[in-house]
């Protein structure tokens, strides 16, 4: 049987992330908030070479709103990494739509990470209203990447309204817990085999990123785990390597788990070594 996971490619290094028909050479997306300094952010980006940089219009300010916003936008441009604006902090449908429209003008891109928060304590997405907002933005020409939960029904609804990729969480934003519901996440991956799935929120360790890539998830988005590390640049590099390892392992095909031990070296057909004094 021919293994088709590689397609016409030769390995993970030639296995681009495909989103809305565009190819990205990295499977790591990186947030831009809460870094100790702009220089640290820039060095972390250089160390990890992410596919996209997420930026929240509310937190950074629009170009022209002062020297701070202008300087930050110039820094993003200088890094030459595609920008993914984010509707972070929006609690209503109209607020998210308005923010997305402003972000398209400010950052000059049709890409948008849709965040619609339904609970301030867990920062859980508003799963009831998100599909309608996503549908509106898609009609307006946006390439929508919705931040959602691992709920299969919600994810199917988002696909029904036109989303071509999804961003389910592993755990609540900023918790660093890793995948708190592995069963649901693996079911989601199995039931949506052709949909790009980017794990967004809750990853705290490089091993968390490796794990979800091993399950077949297509990419991860990180912010707090890198920005708030003791050494953000080194952590950014570690996550980049972890993502590569996880994707390579998925493409290679992991051995199945077994309940019983099985010798790696078979004994059938092997000659026996007779000790001194034994009779042949």
Which active-site residues does the annotation give?
Answer: 113
Do the beta carbons of residue 56 and residue 88 sit within 8 Å? yes
CA distance 8 to 118: 43
List helix spans (H) across the chain: 38-48, 57-60, 67-79, 93-107, 130-139, 152-160, 182-191, 206-214, 224-227, 232-252
Do the beta carbons of residue 264 and residue 48 sit within 8 Å? no
| Alpha-carbon torsion (187, 164, 146, 53), positive or negative | positive
Buried b (16+ CB within 10 A) or exposed e, 203-213: bbbbebbbbbb
Q: Which helix (H) or strand (E) holds 224?
A: helix 224-227
Do the beta carbons of residue 64 and residue 72 sit within 8 Å? no
Do the beta carbons of residue 222 and residue 209 sit within 8 Å? yes
CA distance 205 to 261: 30
Nearest-5° angle of CA 165, CA 170, CA 173? Answer: 100
- Among 217, 154, 208, smallest CA distance to 179 is for 208
Do the beta carbons of residue 90 and residue 123 sit within 8 Å? no
CA distance 256 to 53: 36
């Amino acid at each position: 049987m021919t293994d088709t996971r590689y397609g016409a490619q030769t390995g993970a290094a030639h296995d681009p992330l495909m989103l809305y028909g565009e190819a990205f050479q990295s499977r790591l997306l990186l947030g831009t908030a809460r870094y100790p300094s702009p220089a640290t952010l820039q060095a972390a980006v250089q160390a990890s070479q992410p596919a996209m940089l997420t930026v929240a219009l509310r937190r950074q300010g629009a170009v022209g709103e002062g020297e701070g916003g202008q300087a930050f936008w110039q820094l993003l441009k200088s890094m030459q990494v595609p920008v993914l604006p984010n509707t972070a902090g929006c609690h209503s449908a109209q607020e998210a739509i308005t923010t997305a429209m402003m972000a398209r003008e400010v950052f000059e891109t049709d890409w948008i990470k849709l965040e619609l928060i339904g609970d301030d304590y867990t920062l859980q997405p508003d799963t009831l209203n998100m599909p309608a907002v996503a549908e509106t933005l898609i009609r307006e020409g946006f390439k929508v990447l919705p931040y959602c939960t691992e709920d299969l029904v919600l994810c199917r609804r988002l696909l029904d309204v036109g989303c071509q990729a999804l961003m389910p969480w592993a755990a609540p934003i900023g918790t660093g817990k890793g995948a708190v519901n592995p069963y649901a996440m693996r079911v989601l991956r199995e039931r949506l085999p052709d949909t790009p799935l980017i794990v967004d929120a809750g990853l705290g360790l490089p091993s968390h990123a490796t794990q979800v890539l091993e399950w077949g998830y297509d990419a991860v988005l990180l912010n707090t785990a890198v920005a708030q590390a003791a050494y953000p640049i080194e952590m950014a590099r570690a996550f980049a390597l972890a993502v590569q390892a996880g994707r390579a392992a998925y493409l290679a095909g992991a051995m199945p788990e077994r309940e019983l031990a099985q010798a790696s070296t078979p004994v059938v057909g092997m000659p026996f070594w007779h000790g001194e004094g034994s009779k042949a």
